[in-house]
Amino acid sequence: MATGQRGTLSLEGIPSARGKRFALVVSEWNAHITDALAQGARDTLVHLGVKSEDIENFAVPGSFELIHGCKVVASSLEYDAVIAIGSVIRGETAHFDFVCQGVTHGIAELNAHGKTPVIFCVLTDDTEQQSLDRCGGKLGNKGDEAAVAAVKMAQF
């Protein structure tokens, strides 16, 4: 869902999420970005009928730790879907590539083998500005899109 290419995200036709429970597992690294993504996801979930008290936040230190955090939360079977929220910004070393590949693979494995859907909301940008554009800036908020995906998967 590339909102930058489609325009504003439309919630028309998205099923109600009333009565569902969601977990947001949020990386503390690049918190100014991940907090904005989490707020976008939370706002969209509420707009789609989820009670605020049915959305829980769980903090992990960085994006790589999202894998374990999501595994623990998803395996509790207390939530209809989990959203993994992180931000990895390219630096001067290969660390970016290893973290991005590891997180992507880890979240994919959770989905392949778990019962609770885990939604991938990890920005993997070359610059901080690209991340800012995607967490409420000119390209919308990818947290909104992750919330829509979570609602659809919770209904699946």
Catalytic one of 32, 68, 95, 105? 95
- Find the largest Cα–Cα distance for the chain: 45
pLDDT of residue 152: 96
Q: Is residue 93 classed as helix, strand or coil in its secondary structure?
A: coil
| 95 labelled catalytic | yes
DSSP sequence for 121-153: EEEEESSHHHHHHHEEETTEEHHHHHHHHHHHH
Write down the pTM of the prediction.
Answer: 0.94
Examine the pLDDT at 3 and tell me if it is beyond 70.
no
Pick the CATH number of 31-155 from 3.40.50.960, 2.60.40.1930, 3.40.50.150, 3.40.50.720: 3.40.50.960
- Per residue in 16-27, pLDDT (tens digit) is 899 999 999 999
For residue 31, what are the contacts with CB-CB under 8 A and spacing of at least 6? none
Delimit the domains of the chain by residue range: 31-155
